[in-house]
């Protein structure tokens, strides 16, 4: 982990043969994160995902945010939490070790109201469980939506596409989007659509579909409405790589999960060890409040 952006730079876990390997995309050097980073491994905020036209209302007052994604506000704006230097301290107990990171977002930053104090804890235990806990307080009524934006590739940390990975998401609906990826306000059933991941399904199976939602997202870039009660920790998704035998289970207290299939990776970025990150060489499973 680096204090810049609260970025998780690597997660090393064994494959079925017991051989350890990295499973997330990123860089070897801080300079590369500073130069160009499509949110590799960071904490995104103040409000992760998109806010339509960078506008929202609280108690009759309209707030105007930075526009940084077409006509919309994305992941906290031009200088979001992914670009902050977080204060850190190590934490250690009998069951786990970890790091606590904290930062402050002053009133008016990127257009948001209030002084926001944020703490994120990453802990790791002997069962190979990474726990991410967020806490935020503010001196004004505001909106806040934090997520962890690691790009996963369980096979080889981004050397090859993730299309053969099997994904299960415990959701019967998604929040469909318009052409700028803002939710329309409706729910769409996943049954009989490319978004049906209720059983483990190869990501590449339907990613080339002519479904309008796939075309809007240039692949998968959608919020899944998770089953179960928000606020209670429950399993939300399982990602498996048949080649390596590695499997990732995502549990969350959040109501939604954004599945992003690395549609804007285009081979321009060279990551760890000189790895070229091509189209869909990594995927994100971002637990979250719904976009907008």
Phi, psi of 139 (to 5 degrees): -90, 5
What's the confidence (pLDDT) of residue 174? 98
Rg (CA), the chain: 18
For residues 159-176, one letter each, b for 16 or more C-beta atoms within 10 angstroms of the residue's C-beta and e for the rest, the string is: bebbbebbbbbbbbbbbb
Handedness of CA 159, 164, 166, 169 (dihedral sign): positive
Q: Please confirm, yes or no, whether 149 is among the known catalytic residues.
A: yes
Catalytic residue among 73, 109, 110, 149: 149
**Cβ-Cβ contacts under 8 Å for 215 (sequence gap 6 or more):** none
24, 46, 221, 259: CA torsion to nearest 10: 50
Compute the distance between CA of residue 154 and CA of residue 161 in angstroms, rounded to an integer. 10
What token pair was written down for 291?
Answer: 């976009």
**Cβ-Cβ contacts under 8 Å for 36 (sequence gap 6 or more):** 269
Q: What is the pTM of this model?
A: 0.97
What token pair was written down for 261?
Answer: 């299939």
Under 8 Å between Cβ of 267 and 276 = yes
Handedness of CA 180, 175, 236, 73 (dihedral sign): positive
Distance of CA 94 to the CA centre of its chain: 29
Compute the distance between CA of residue 26 and CA of residue 282 in angstroms, rounded to an integer. 10
pLDDT tens-digit profile, the chain (292 residues): 999 999 999 999 999 999 999 999 999 999 999 999 999 999 999 999 999 999 999 999 999 999 999 999 999 999 999 999 999 999 999 999 999 999 999 999 999 999 999 999 999 999 999 999 999 999 999 999 999 999 999 999 999 999 999 999 999 999 999 999 999 999 999 999 999 999 999 999 999 999 999 999 999 999 999 999 999 999 999 999 999 999 999 999 999 999 999 999 999 999 999 999 999 999 999 999 999 9
> Residue 40's closest CA among 84, 87, 5?
5
Compute the C-alpha angle 53/55/61, nearest 5°: 160
DSSP annotation of 52: G
What token pair was written down for 19?
Answer: 């051989």
Catalytic residue among 75, 254, 286, 289: 286
What token pair was written down for 118?
Answer: 């944020």
> Residue 201's closest CA among 169, 224, 167?
167
What's the confidence (pLDDT) of residue 162? 98
């Amino acid at each position: 982990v680096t204090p810049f952006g609260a970025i998780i730079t690597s997660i090393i876990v064994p494959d079925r043969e017991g051989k350890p390997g990295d499973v997330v995309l990123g860089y070897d050097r801080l300079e590369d994160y500073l130069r160009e980073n499509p949110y590799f491994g960071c904490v995104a905020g103040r409000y992760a995902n998109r806010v339509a036209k960078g506008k929202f209302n609280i108690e009759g007052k309209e707030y105007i945010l930075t526009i940084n994604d077409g006509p919309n506000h994305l992941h906290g704006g031009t200088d979001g939490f992914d670009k902050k230097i977080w204060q850190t301290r190590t934490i250690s107990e009998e069951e786990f070790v970890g790091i606590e990171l904290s930062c402050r977002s002053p009133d008016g930053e990127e257009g948001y109201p209030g002084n926001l104090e944020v703490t994120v804890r990453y802990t790791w235990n002997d069962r190979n469980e990474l726990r991410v806990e967020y806490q935020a307080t503010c001196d004004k009524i505001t909106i806040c939506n934090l997520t962890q934006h690691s790009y996963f590739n369980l096979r080889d940390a981004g050397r090859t596409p993730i299309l053969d990975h099997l994904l299960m998401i415990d959701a019967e609906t998604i929040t469909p989007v318009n052409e700028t990826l803002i939710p329309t306000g409706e729910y769409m059933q996943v049954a009989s659509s490319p978004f049906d991941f209720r059983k483990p399904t190869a990501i590449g199976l339907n990613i080339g579909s002519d479904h309008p939602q796939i075309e809007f997202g240039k692949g998968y870039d959608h919020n899944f409405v998770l089953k179960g009660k928000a606020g209670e920790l429950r399993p939300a998704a399982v990602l498996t790589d048949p080649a390596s035998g590695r499997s990732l289970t995502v549990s969350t207290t959040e109501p939604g999960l954004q599945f992003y299939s690395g549609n804007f990776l285009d081979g321009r970025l060279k990551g760890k060890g000189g790895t070229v990150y091509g189209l869909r060489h990594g995927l994100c499973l971002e637990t979250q409040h719904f976009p907008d």
